Amino acid sequence: MPTSSEVASRRPLTAMLLLQVVATWSFSLCLGVVTSLVMLATFGLLSNYLTVKVLRLWGRTMLWMCRVEYEVDGTENLAADTAKVITFNHGSFLDSMLVTAVMPDRSVAAIKRSVLFYPMVGSTLYLMGFLLLDRRLTPAAKR
């Protein structure tokens, strides 16, 4: 059975975690609403310019809020004029934060096509120029 001092020492940590959860969700919601409004108001005309910047802002801010430090090595070995594919396996929620935080300019994010049917989110992601993957049609996608 934990002593009263052990319980008291856990309270600041619990409060800090709760604050982090509220802050990250609030930031994500606010950025999502603003991005949706801008994309819908401009019919996606700004997507080439804004999409990577918005995703990078989200990723870097979320990592900062979660106190995750990262360092990217070897970018000088990447040719600037060629396409790149970055994959991750959703091992944790940090995957999406890290990938978006380090996205190079002119990147395209890919999502499953079924996300199009989410209210507001789907139309926003479509207007942002996300690559839509239909996971049910794997043979057709390989062609």
Read off the amino acid at residue 119.
P
With beta carbons less than 8 A apart as the criterion, state whether 115 and 125 touch: yes
Please write the tens of the pLDDT for every residue from 34-57: 999 999 999 999 888 899 899 999
Three-state DSSP class for 131? strand
pLDDT at 11 over 70: no
pLDDT confidence bin for 133, thresholds 50/70/90? confident
Please write the tens of the pLDDT for every residue from 55-107: 999 999 999 998 899 898 887 777 777 777 776 777 788 888 888 898 887 78
6 vs 57, more confident: 57
How far out from the chain centre does Cα 113 lie?
A: 17
pLDDT at 132 over 70: yes
